[in-house]
Amino acid sequence: MSLALEVTLRAIIAVVLGFSFVGLALVVLNVVERKLGGRFQSRYGPLHVGWHGSLQTIADLLKILQKELIIPAGADPVLFRLAPYLSLVPAITIFLAVPISENIVALESNLSLLIVLFLPAVSVFGILTAGWASNSKYSLIASLRSAGQMFAYEIPRTLSALSVVMLAGSLSLTEIVKNQQSIWFLVVQPIAFLIFFFTSLAEANRVPFDLTWAESELVSGFFTEYTGMRWAMFFLAEYGALIGSCFLTVLLFMGGWLGPFLPPVVWLLIKVSVLVLLSLWFRWTWPRFRIDQWLNFSWKFLVPLSIINLLVTGTLMIGLRVGV
Amino acid sequence: MVEKQEFMINMGPQHPSTHGVFRIVLELDGETVIGAKPEIGYLHRGVEKISENRTYEQVLPLTDRLDYVNAMGNNLAYVMAVEKLAGIQVSERAQAIRTILAELNRIASHLISIGTQGLEVGAYTVFLYCFREREIILDLFERATGGRLTYTYFRFGGLFQDLPEGWVEEARDFCKEFLPHVDEYEDLLIQNPIYKLRTKGIGILNKNIALNYGASGPVLRSTGVSWDLRKDSPYLMYDQVEFDVVYTKNGDVWDRAWIRLEEMRQSTRIIKQLLDNLPEGEVQAEELCRYVVPEERSSYFAVESPRGELGFFLVSDGSLKPYRMKIRSPAFVNLSLVETLVKGEKVADVPLIIGSLDPVFGEVDR
């Protein structure tokens, strides 16, 4: 088999498998979120479709498929159609580079961390395009917020990931996980872990950083004007970004697939589920920040803190002669 | 060159967080509000004019529909205004029951206010918790009056009927279970660091401005003025029970939310005391004839509704119908502050500030 053919085949299989996995995970996560949200709020959540409402999301998706796709008057029709894809594709494509065990990864690369870390940032273009093309002031404010906060979370997030990279001495996610055989980086780098996890929530637009949605002031944020499957694509992109961020957090800080007795994939999924459930818990408990407060917090506290963390890590590594 | 331009945004009348049909045109510089123009009248039904063509009894159901989350309080203010006009006496038992129901309705109203404050900052859970407890109050009202939102239970000279059997015990159980829930709201929302960050120092109301506008209720009390009609001109049984007037000094959104929270505790205290010493006797004055025909005079009577001073001014020409009825609506007066309060704040705080004034548009527009 020629190399080109092999690469193409691998990519196709990976994309099909990856998208099916992500799609399934999104459906499961949505049901879990609604059931759990119900319990947190002392109500039942969905009950009637399937066993205890387990098929509710599928029913909803079928309903959404039948909805009319409305393009509002005055909107830019081309950009308006393009925006959902700009948002959804990067959020799901990162799974190509996510290793799910030592040998299973669709796109083996020694720079896989960079792909997983920065590809989701492209989603912001989707949000910006949606806000601009909708011809709605609410959407515009939301998308400007999204652009404004992007650097506020990307910089501390990258800096805290960098401290892990220094310890592991590699940008390959597989290598980073292998480096955690003896001890999780969560133990060595607790501050980096906290910064990374919380900025990941901001990246996925989750509570308490759901400023681009902000239904109390901006109606429905940047997707106010969207209907049907286009709306659902933004929705899926948000869940995709959340799951992707949790995968990355687990790989960087929580030993990835490492763990006794159970198969590696199972360990990975367990750890990811814990983080996802944690973020759901936040969502049903916390109020949201205001944009200027969150930006202040990020620039004046998170960024300096992650730089100091990076400096301390480097100094200690030289002092203790680790990995130098 | 980049040109700078202000930005108009039309919030409402169909917007998720304007607390009803309220429209406010905001002028924005980025996210900062530099101008605001509130617009009301979407729910105007002309209650004051309609009542001129109805007998005093027929006006009573209209008052339920003014402030529909505090229908008991509205009935109370109207009924007591008519009683003052016609000089009707009310038995002690009826007065005590009226006090209990008015306080229960104050709790129900404050629960909505605190719950929606949660909604406005994205804390959805506390809203549903508040509605869970409000449901119990509505069940109590349903047992006593037959209605869940509009009661028309208070009548001239007393009540429509006595409380059903076992109601007092149920109300007592509610008081016992309710206080831990108030602590829960405090932990979950009012004392939450993010909520404090969002609301402290936002929408600051100056004492002089509040007094000049004629604000009342929690909005006025948040500016350091201890003014509560229940204490300052006691009616019903309020001079016979112990409770504190809750007031704070900062005048911001957080203070107003905290006052409402604390008032729920005080209301529970009042209800407990009255349930323990409920007088025996009739609940309806016997000698009353079917129609109230007051002499030719006028009267004003005001009660402390959850939103502030709710007054009814009635002019009688000696006929079956009021010659003129004027409603002094606290929600309307408090809402007039909104323009002053939102200027200079961020657009994200606008719903919070509107919510902290706790307007009910049935009463604003009448």
Cα–Cα distance for residue pair A127/A86, rounded to 1 Å: 8
* Whether residue A28 is found in the same domain as residue A91: no
* Whether residue A58 is found in the same domain as residue A176: no
Mean pLDDT, rounded, for A217-227: 79
C-beta separation of B75 from B63 below 8 A: yes
Number of structural domains (chain A) is 2
Cα–Cα distance for residue pair A256/A179, rounded to 1 Å: 10
pLDDT at A323: 58
Q: CB distance B198–A43 less than 8 Å?
A: no
| ∠ Cα B23 B26 B27 (to 5°) | 155
* Whether residue A198 is found in the same domain as residue A221: yes
> What's the pLDDT band for A115 if we cut at 50, 70, 90?
confident
pLDDT at B166: 87
Give the residues of chain B that fall short of pLDDT 50: none
What is the dotted CATH code of the domain comprising B44-336?
1.10.645.10
For the stretch A3-34, pLDDT in tens is 788 778 877 777 787 778 777 888 888 888 88
> What's the pLDDT band for A1 if we cut at 50, 70, 90?
low
Alpha carbon B92 to chain centroid, angstroms: 24
- Between chain A and chain B, how many beta carbons pairs sit less than 8 Å apart? 78
Cα–Cα distance for residue pair A168/A40, rounded to 1 Å: 39
Cα–Cα distance for residue pair B290/A100, rounded to 1 Å: 82
Q: CB distance B122–A288 less than 8 Å?
A: yes
Chain A nearest CA to B198, separation (Å): 7
Of the three residues A14, A38, A66, the one that is the final residue of a domain is A66
C-beta separation of A227 from A218 below 8 A: no
Q: CB distance B17–A217 less than 8 Å?
A: yes
Asked if residue A85 has pLDDT above 80, the reply is yes
Q: CB distance B197–A293 less than 8 Å?
A: yes
Q: Mapping DSSP to helix (H, G, I), strand (E, B) and coil, where does residue B36 land? A: strand
pLDDT at B312: 92
Chain B residues within 8 A of A287 when measuring between CB atoms: 118, 121-123, 189, 192, 194-195, 198
* Whether residue A147 is found in the same domain as residue A265: yes
Interface of A with B (CB under 8 A): 40-43, 137-138, 141, 145, 207-208, 210, 214-217, 219, 284-293
Cα–Cα distance for residue pair A176/A180, rounded to 1 Å: 7
Chain B residues within 8 A of A300 when measuring between CB atoms: none
Burial B96-112, CB ≥16 within 10 A → b, else e: bbbbbbbbbbbbbbbbb
pLDDT at B10: 84
- Bigger pLDDT: A85 vs A15: A85
Q: How many CA atoms lie within 13 A of A234 on its CB side?
A: 28
For the stretch A188-214, pLDDT in tens is 888 889 999 988 888 888 777 777 777
Chain B residues within 8 A of A293 when measuring between CB atoms: 197-198
Of the three residues A13, A44, A66, the one that is the final residue of a domain is A66
| ∠ Cα A140 A77 A145 (to 5°) | 15
Asked if residue A322 has pLDDT above 90, the reply is no
Asked if residue A319 has pLDDT above 90, the reply is no
Mean pLDDT, rounded, for A95-103: 79
Chain B nearest CA to A162, separation (Å): 29
* Whether residue A17 is found in the same domain as residue A162: no
* Whether residue A267 is found in the same domain as residue A155: yes
Of the three residues A40, A66, A92, the one that is the final residue of a domain is A66
* Whether residue A48 is found in the same domain as residue A99: no
Instruction: Supply the range of the domain harboring residue A257.
Output: 74-320
Interface of B with A (CB under 8 A): 7-9, 15-17, 31, 118-125, 128-129, 132, 188-189, 192, 194-195, 197-198, 346-352
Chain A nearest CA to B197, separation (Å): 8
* Whether residue A149 is found in the same domain as residue A207: yes
Residue spans per domain, chain B: 44-336
